[in-house]
Copies of this chain bind each other. A is one copy, B any other.
Amino acid sequence: MKVAIVYHSGYGHTAEQAKSVARGAQSVAGTDAQVISVAEGDVPWGELEKADAIIFGSPTYMGTVSAPFKKFMDDSSKPWFEQKWKDKLAAGFTNSGSQSGDKLNTLQTLAVFAAQHGMIWVGLGLMPGNNSSKGSPEDLNRIGSYLGAMAQSNTDQGPDQGPTASDLKTAEHLGKRVATLAARFK
């Protein structure tokens, strides 16, 4: 089973999230997780066509996916036109400097994009953490997202210090969930 993680990262934070998603997917027996950066020139469209699931990741810039990730989305109009990704599983993740910071608009946009491709959307599948007097930022899903995995990285720190360990574990959970469901669906 093949899970592709397609992402853009401007400063490295979203790349860390992508690696964690891949680690989660890879932890499911029989899964081949492939991480693809859209910034590295040509997108391997053939690999995407072979995948059972594609997980999309982008930082949230100015309220939605980054321009380089949007370019990938626009370029995907060819496989879209032939509905090459139909009935594959899809999921999404995003990072930004703010705790909430319009990240939901990014995930909603990715879910709409996946629906255009005829894909089936898998959410995070975790209850929110850090939402009670007993909670803390160390909780899984500390930001409280459902549609996909959210992460927050301080704007004055590099990818060695953010996203937090809890956000990376949350991303790992998403990868594992998608791979598990893809196996079942296949």
Closest to A144 in B: B98
B146 touches A112 (CB 8 A): yes
Q: How far is the CB of A89 from chain B (nearest CB, A)?
A: 8
B155 touches A132 (CB 8 A): yes
**Which of B63, B98, B103, B142 is in CB contact (< 8 Å) with A131?**
B98
List the B side residues contacting A98 at CB < 8 Å. Answer: 128, 130-131, 143-145
B104 touches A132 (CB 8 A): no
Q: Restricting to A26-68, which residues have a CB under 8 Å from any CB of B?
A: 61-67
A100 touches B105 (CB 8 A): no
Q: How far is the CB of A92 from chain B (nearest CB, A)?
A: 11
Closest to A97 in B: B131
B62 touches A143 (CB 8 A): no
Secondary structure call for the A interface? loop
Q: How far is the CB of A155 from chain B (nearest CB, A)?
A: 5
Q: How far is the CB of A164 from chain B (nearest CB, A)?
A: 12
List the B side residues contacting A181 at CB < 8 Å. Answer: 87, 120
Among A96, A109, A146, chain B packs the most CB atoms within 10 A around the CB of: A146
Contacts A108-B108, A115-B123: A146 and B64 contacting too (C-beta < 8 A)?
Answer: no
Q: Which A residues have a C-beta under 8 Å from some C-beta of B? A: 61-67, 70-71, 73-74, 76-77, 80, 83, 86-87, 96-105, 108-109, 111-116, 118-125, 127-128, 130-135, 142-147, 150, 152, 154-157, 161, 181, 184-185
